[in-house]
Structure 1
Amino acid sequence: MTDNSDTTTGASQHDTGRRNFLKKGGMLASAGGVAAASSTLGMPAIASERREWRMVTAWPKGFPGVGTNAERVAQLITEMSDGRLTVTVHGAGEVVPAMEVFDAVSSGTVEMGHDASFHHMGKNPIFALFTTIPFGLVGNEYAGWLLHGGGMELWDEAYAEFGLKPFMACNTGTQMFGWFREPIETVQDLRGLKFRTPGLGAAVMSQLGATVVQMPVGELFQAMQSGTVDACELVSPFNDIAIGIQQVAKNYYAPGVIEGSTIVNAVVNREKFNELPRDLQQIVRTACLQGYTDSWAEYTYKNAPAMRKLTQEHGVQLRRVPEEILRAMGDASNKVLTEMRDDGDELTRRIFDSYLSARGGMKAYTSIAEQGFLNARSLDYDYPS
């Protein structure tokens, strides 16, 4: 904006004000000294105020990827605030069970949590859209929708009812379809299969006849080993190798259409967040966003060597999901999502409309840009290795 004020008049007013101030200097000195002393005394008290928060998580303590992401976010908040806001992390079961993070933060039992929104579809099925849905958004598209397409505002509105403030804190990137004891070739092979998967992927697999089992990450190895489940969808090589499922299943399938990109969130008790001064609120936001980009980069880089280790050292067979199954899953996804939107309330429909509009628009460009580039990069030609 152009400033059209009279600078000469402004200078004159400044000089007059300065002379008046100097004339009154003696009279104001004692009052000013008191004011200055009061201000000086007040500042250290504000600056030295310390807050201690607890963060509960859905992951085993120190679990690679999602677990260490929680610890990094907590450390960032603590360091960026110079200790004014200290966050201590607790693994699943240390304070509350893995699937009770949402309730613990909502009730104010703890100040902060770290899990995935699709764990809490019992509160509202629409929460799944803020983690992942079958055939949904990939990582860069998710960030686009949330940060620039109105998704974050809708998420905040959906969680406000429960006294929570959500933040995108982690992205695992595109996941794998899952681990299977026996190879799968047709939709018939899924019928009666005891399959662990969370979120809307569970509803889709149920449509195809699978018997869906829900359980936390920390219970998966035991379940696969004992036969409680026949197959499971976890994350991707970097995480999966740490669980050790390669010891009890050798068929590893891609692409991971159930979770094309998965957001893990940090949630803060809304009342506690609103009590923070604005700079600490921004520190929490910034630390979570840094955690999102850092985790995405970590998964991208570490999945490749983990996959090599699985196939070359553990005898894992990397397999592609048959097209018949992929098409059937796409049709089942359409049915599940359509019913959810039609049966939902006004907020549910607004979230769906925003998500699907973003998916349609970005999918058109992604198929031209990223997918086109990746197809070209996969061609047979000479290149340094």
Structure 2
Amino acid sequence: MKKMMVMLLSVIMITSIFMVGCTSKESSGGGEGSSDAGYSGKTYKWVAQSPWPSGTTLHWMAEEIARDITAATGGRLEVEMHPAGSIVAAFDILDAVDTGTLDAIHSWEGYWVGQIQAAGFFASMPLGMNEQQYMTWVLQDEGTELWKETFADYNVEVLPAGAYTPEVFYHSTVPIQNLDDLKDLRVRGSAFWGEIQSRLGANVINVPGGEVYQALERGMVDAAEFATPTDNWGLGFHEVAEYLVVPGAHQPTSTFSFMVNQQRWDELPDDLKEIVMLVTENMWGKAWSYAAYQDMQTMEKYRELEEQGKLTIIEFDEGDQVRMSEVTNEYYAELAEKDEQFRKVWESQNKFLEKYNYWRDFMSPSY
């Protein structure tokens, strides 16, 4: 009898402990950093858009962010990414996420320099930083802080979201080996690079990206820049321009962001915010390595065309690249005098580069 009582008491104690544990878990929620969605079953859905056409490396980046967030949150936050023009026009996405028409966007800030000149520093600057420099400045120095500050007038949470590979300098119907060859040529250009090309003696024509092929084919322009080797290959520029000019000094890298409407961001529990931030930070390595791998293979295709006599690859004169840098910095200095935020960001990058380049030059081998 005594033995049976002991066994009964043991069962009661175990059952009680189990019930207390379950009750404790189910009542968890609230408090600093907790996730009520994890226990209440609450889910969120964001409708997002990029400014990129489907099938491009650029839209792949946007789609990967959406897929990774959805997967990493176990579907608690679903991001539905749409290509350019699906919901709003490509150049209207910033206003759309600001007003809440879109919950989030994949963005290249070069599109917004008309509203905010300093935005160009968070996209790509001609003769500017490369991807490693940008990544370090953004993730470790004050780049993220200045990025958010530059867009403070918009109702958005700005999340830096990776870098892209260098662009092709020109697809051209005539050889361009130096600055003398560039003078008086009709070239595609816009924003900062358009002005710089004008200062270098070129005749700049603003051609939309979707019309570059036709502009080269019909002789509207002699040379055009657009994107990376891979994306340019897909658009067939090599079919109508027999010269490929490198390196992409005008755009040594491009950086991107994932912007979220502030109200949509604020309603997320802390753990989901942390996952979104980790996904976007991860894109600094994921996006660049993916694009680089694609470009490696594409350059092999260009090399095969050159071996077949169908294309000529030209390396632009190194000394004239330095001269372009000098002209570019003169132009930036003029802009800095007129725009306080532009000056602040430009000075931050220059201060960072002075230390970064000192370290890199000593520590990078010459072989």
Give how far 1:288 is off: 1.3
Aligned partner of 1:158 in structure 2 is 150
Identity %: 26
Deviations 1:288-320 (CA, angstroms, capped at 9, x unpaired): 122221111112222122111122137221101
Of the three residues 74, 96, 102, the one matched with 2:66 is 74
Matched, 1:337 2:332: yes
Q: Distance in 2 between matches of 1:111 and 1:268?
A: 6
**What is the CA distance between 1:188 and its match in structure 2?**
4.2
Match of 2:42 in 1: 49
1:176-191 alignment, distance < 5 Å: 176-191=168-183
2:323 aligned residue (328, 342, 347)? 328
AA matched with 1:309: K
Change (3 A) 1:353 1:59: same
Pair 1:37–1:273, CA change in 2 (3 A): closer
Distance 2:29 2:286 in 1: 40
Match of 2:361 in 1: 367
Pair 1:110-2:102 in alignment: yes
Equivalent position to 2:140, from 142, 148, 151: 148
Could you list the runs of 5+ residues in structure 2 that have no partner in the other structure? 1-19, 31-35
RMSD (Å), alpha carbons:
2.6
After superposition, the C-alpha distances for 1:252-305 in whole angstroms (9 at most, x for unaligned) are 111211112211222212222122111111121111122221111112222122
TM-score by length of 1: 0.80
Task: Establish whether residue 245 from structure 1 lines up as the match of residue 237 from structure 2.
Answer: yes
Conserved 8 A contact 1:172-1:296 = yes
Measure, in 1, the Cα distance between the counterparts of 2:255 and 2:25. 49
Q: Using the TM superposition, give the Cα deviation of residue 41 of structure 1 relative to its aligned residue in structure 2, in angstroms.
A: 11
Structure 1 position 129, deviation (Å): 0.7
Distance 1:83 1:114 in 2: 20
Instruction: State the distance in 2 between where 1:181 and 1:280 align.
Output: 51
Describe how 1:1-16 pairs up with structure 2 within 5 A.
Answer: none
Q: Give SS of 1:240's match.
A: helix
Distance 2:28 2:118 in 1: 50
Give the TM-score normalised by structure 2.
0.84
Report the residue type matching 1:39 in the other structure: S
- For the 8 Å contact 1:59–1:218, the answer to whether it is kept is no
- SS at structure 2 position matched to 1:94: coil
Listed as ranges, the matches of 1:68-147 within 5 Å are 68-147=60-139
SS at match of 1:160: coil
1:348 aligned residue = 342
Distance in 2 separating the partners of 1:44 and 1:54: 19
Deviations 1:320-378, CA, capped at 9 Å, x for gaps: 11246424312220121101111112x333222211111222122223334xx3x41xx
Distance 1:299 1:307 in 2: 12
CA drift of 1:81 comes to 1.3
Counterpart for residue 212 of structure 2? 220
Shift of 1:199: 4.4
Output the CA distance in 2 between the equivalents of 1:229 and 1:94: 30
Contact 1:99/1:216 (8 A) holds in 2: no
Give the total of aligned pairs. Answer: 339
**Residues 177 and 315 of structure 2 are in contact (CA less than 8 Å); yes or no, is this contact kept in structure 1?**
no
Write the letter of the residue equivalent to 2:45: E
- Partner-residue secondary structure (3-state), 1:313: helix
Q: Which letter does structure 1 place at the counterpart of 2:311?
A: V
